[in-house]
Structure 1
Amino acid sequence: MPTIHLTTFIQAPAARVFDLARSIDLHRISMEKFKEEPVAGTRSGLIEQGETVTWRAKHLFKSRLLRSRITEMKRPEKFTDEQAEGDFSSMRHEHYFKPCENGTILIDLFHFETPYGWLGKMVNTVYLTGYMKRMLEHRNEVIRKYAESDQWRKLLQA
């Protein structure tokens, strides 16, 4: 099972970064180029433990649906979302928020498995792992941009 491990430093308090990372509205902004839209479940605001969101997006030349559920949450330290329905055989995304002297270290552990046996493993190695990593890095950059400016207020204090 492939795992992507990212570490991102953000000059903002952990609670702010935590809330931005679970903001449906910021997720939509960060995934605009994929036309991701929430179509069911929690469709705006901050998603909470036990809630689901279903996203419709265009990835890899195909329109796709992914429903994920927040399975674990300990504010502002960590939360986990897992695929409930979608194209992966399994998907688990762990988000950790470690306060440090001048901000927060955001740690992502993204575990996924694709169907199709050896062919799926080859696609993971050749393309999908890099694609997912770039997408997560872009998302973290958007979180960083909002957290380090006054833009976070629009999303979290609305």
Structure 2
Amino acid sequence: MPRFEVTTLVQAPPPAVFDASLSVDLHTSAFAHTGEQAVAGVTSGRLALGDQVTWRARHFGLTWHLTSTISACTRPAYFVDEQVTGPFRRWHHAHTFEATGDGAATLMTDVVDFAAPLPPLGRLAEILVLKRYLTRLIVRRNAHLAAVVTRRPAG
């Protein structure tokens, strides 16, 4: 089963980065290029332990639906979102948040374990396309999250 990890340094304390990472609204704005929308479950605000959300987005020219749940959550250090239903055989996304230095910055780490449907064709898709594509999506989301969390009000 494929696994990848993305580490991002965000110049904000862990509670702010943690809360932003659970924001449905921030998630949809980060993935505006895919038309991603929360269409069922929690559709705005911040997710919490046990919450479910169904996402609709376009990837590879097709519309996909994925329902995930927050299956573990310890603020401000860790949470997990896992697919309940959707296009993957498995989707497990662990998020960790570690204070750096004086606590003013956060080392955010995403570890994603996933499996495509329809083995052995799915395995080929994982190797040739999906791992790289999904990694780029997480990097893009993290850059957006960092920009939003570190934005300073004018004045």
Unpaired runs of at least 5, structure 2? none
Q: Deviation above 6 Å: which 4+ runs of structure 1?
A: none
Aligned residue-pair number: 151
RMSD after superposition: 0.9
For residues 25 and 86 of structure 2, the distance between their equivalents in structure 1, rounded to whole angstroms, comes to: 21
> 2:129 aligns to what SS in structure 1?
helix
TM-score normalised over the length of structure 2: 0.95
Aligned to 1:145: 147
For residues 111 and 34 of structure 1, the distance between their equivalents in structure 2, rounded to whole angstroms, comes to: 22
For residues 147 and 29 of structure 2, the distance between their equivalents in structure 1, rounded to whole angstroms, comes to: 12
Aligned to 1:104: 106
For residues 60 and 83 of structure 1, the distance between their equivalents in structure 2, rounded to whole angstroms, comes to: 19
The letter of the residue matching 1:109 is V
For residues 65 and 128 of structure 2, the distance between their equivalents in structure 1, rounded to whole angstroms, comes to: 23
Shift of 1:148: 1.1
Aligned to 1:26: 26
TM-score normalised over the length of structure 1: 0.93
Shift of 1:74: 0.1
Aligned to 2:132: 130
Aligned to 2:61: 61
Aligned to 1:114: 116
Shift of 1:147: 1.3
Q: Does 1:74 align with 2:90?
A: no
For residues 50 and 129 of structure 1, the distance between their equivalents in structure 2, rounded to whole angstroms, comes to: 27
Shift of 1:150: 3.2
